[in-house]
């Protein structure tokens, strides 16, 4: 049977890709996203122009459909957002899903959000979501029809933990049918399928300034003894500051903690730090984040180098990450730097990390494309859950 679906908060169509991958005959009868750039990319790839405002959708005129898909806005629930919960306008958009589903009664709903949604307000937000879904006639239950999944569990080199809600209409739900995800055992993480050819990455080289800053930090890294820890975040601009007890007590708690825990690494290499800080004073002072190093790769190793890792320029500082997986793609412009080639990863590499096919037409603005892939659902993650559900209930 062919399946009709609607794609709410559609973005660039991660759910669309996942359902077409499951069944090429499946048909999207409505898409909706307020972002004009996403509308353009959606049309370019699927020949469907998304509606622009979900609050203006008339549920009585939407064509019938079997499946409702929605990666509903996560900014109100994520660690990176302000955690406004349902008090935030974006959080309230969840109720638009409820409004449409209550009237149209699709067989299934597949919803996606950040893993952190389960912990907000001591779990009250998560409980409220489940309660609202239950009220309109759907079965959804944690650890039974709700799954936590990250691309790396499928062999895709990105750590991106998400929660996928499988909501089954009560008259269809069968307690004897168990949904089990088919996951590879000890999946081999494959980087080669992600990277573009070098000739296609030349324009993504980091700026001279960023390279100089990272080279400067790499210089001081060489001074640190093997086995020493560079944590928590090093605040090199605080090393020589003098605070009275009163002044120190007025600093944010996190900053007090970092300054206190930075003291041993500063005292051990005091003369080296002082010489280094003076040498690069003008460079490091250009941006506050240049003075902060988040070394998230464990104790210093023999022949260690900043260029061995992935790097992100974040508000919290220069974040150095292990190369087991790519850092989680985000929509905030913190594009990962591939240290070994001293360049940002490309939009096409982002597409591959989100399991979009090479045939997918990417927005012609790199800035827009990065944001779109940072917001997107991972196609293979969603497909895995959809396949496990529909194989049980429709076959």
In angstroms, rounded to a whole number, what is the distance separating the alpha carbons of residues 300 and 209? Answer: 25
In angstroms, rounded to a whole number, what is the distance separating the alpha carbons of residues 162 and 142? Answer: 14
Q: Which of 266, 314, 270, 268 is nearest to 293 (CA)?
A: 314
Please report the DSSP string for 236-283 in residue order. Answer: GGGTT----HHHHHTS-HHHHHHHHHHHHHHHHTHHHHHHHHHHTHHH
Contact 89, 142 (CB under 8 A): no
Map residue 138 onto helix, strand or coil: strand
Q: Which of 395, 387, 392 is nearest to 1 (CA)?
A: 395
Q: Which of 28, 32, 74, 167 is catalytic?
A: 74
Per the DSSP assignment, residues forming a β-bridge with 147 are 164
In angstroms, rounded to a whole number, what is the distance separating the alpha carbons of residues 211 and 218? Answer: 10
Compute the half-sphere exposure of residue 63: CA atoms within 13 Å on the CB side of its CA.
12
In angstroms, rounded to a whole number, what is the distance separating the alpha carbons of residues 288 and 278? Answer: 16
Identify the H or E element spanning 165: strand 162-169
Residue 321's Cβ-count burial label (10 Å; 0-12, 13-18, 19+) is buried
Please report the DSSP string for 90-135 in residue order. Answer: HHHTHHHHHHHHHHH--SEEEEEEEGGGGTGGGGHHHHHHHHHHHH
Active site residue 69: no
Contact 83, 77 (CB under 8 A): yes
Q: How many residues does the chain have?
A: 395
Per the DSSP assignment, residues forming a β-bridge with 320 are 295, 311
Please give the span between the terminal C-alpha atoms of the chain, in angstroms, as a whole number.
10
Identify the H or E element spanning 311: strand 310-314
Per the DSSP assignment, residues forming a β-bridge with 310 are 321, 338
Q: Which residue has the tokens 């893993």?
A: 115
Catalytic residues: 74
């Amino acid at each position: 049977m062919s399946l009709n679906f609607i794609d709410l908060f559609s973005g660039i169509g991660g759910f669309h890709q996942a359902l077409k991958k499951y069944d090429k005959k499946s048909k999207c009868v409505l898409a909706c996203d307020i972002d004009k750039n996403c509308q353009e990319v959606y049309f370019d790839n699927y020949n469907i122009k998304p509606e622009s405002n979900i609050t203006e959708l008339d549920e009585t005129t939407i064509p019938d459909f079997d499946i409702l898909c929605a990666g509903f806005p996560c900014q109100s629930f994520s660690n990176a957002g302000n955690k406004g919960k349902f008090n935030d306008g974006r959080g309230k958009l969840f109720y638009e899903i409820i409004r449409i589903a209550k009237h149209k009664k699709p067989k299934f709903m597949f919803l996606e959000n950040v893993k952190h949604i389960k912990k907000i307000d001591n779990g009250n937000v998560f409980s409220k979501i489940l309660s609202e879904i239950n009220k309109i006639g759907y079965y959804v239950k944690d650890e039974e029809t709700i799954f936590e999944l990250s691309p790396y569990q499928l062999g895709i080199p990105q750590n991106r933990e998400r929660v996928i809600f499988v909501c089954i209409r009560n008259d269809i739900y069968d307690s004897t049918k168990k949904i089990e995800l088919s996951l590879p055992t000890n999946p081999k993480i494959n980087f080669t399928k992600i990277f573009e050819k070098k000739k296609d990455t030349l324009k993504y080289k980091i700026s001279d300034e960023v390279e100089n800053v990272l080279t400067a930090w790499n210089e001081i890294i060489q001074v640190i003894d093997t086995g020493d820890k560079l944590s928590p975040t090093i605040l090199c601009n605080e090393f020589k500051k003098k605070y009275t007890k009163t002044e120190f007590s007025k600093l944010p708690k996190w900053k007090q903690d970092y300054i206190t825990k930075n003291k041993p690494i500063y005292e051990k290499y005091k003369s080296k730090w002082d010489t280094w800080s003076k040498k690069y004073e003008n460079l490091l002072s250009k941006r506050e984040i240049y003075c902060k190093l988040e070394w998230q790769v464990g104790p210093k190793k023999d022949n260690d180098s900043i260029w061995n890792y992935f790097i992100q320029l974040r508000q919290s500082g220069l974040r150095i990450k292990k190369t087991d997986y790519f850092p989680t793609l985000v929509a905030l412009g913190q594009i990962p730097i591939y240290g070994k080639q001293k360049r940002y990863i490309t939009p096409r590499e982002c597409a591959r990390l989100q399991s979009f096919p090479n045939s997918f037409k990417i927005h012609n603005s790199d800035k827009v494309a990065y944001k779109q892939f940072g917001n997107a659902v991972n196609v293979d993650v969603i497909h895995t859950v959809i396949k496990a559900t529909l194989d049980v209930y429709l076959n």
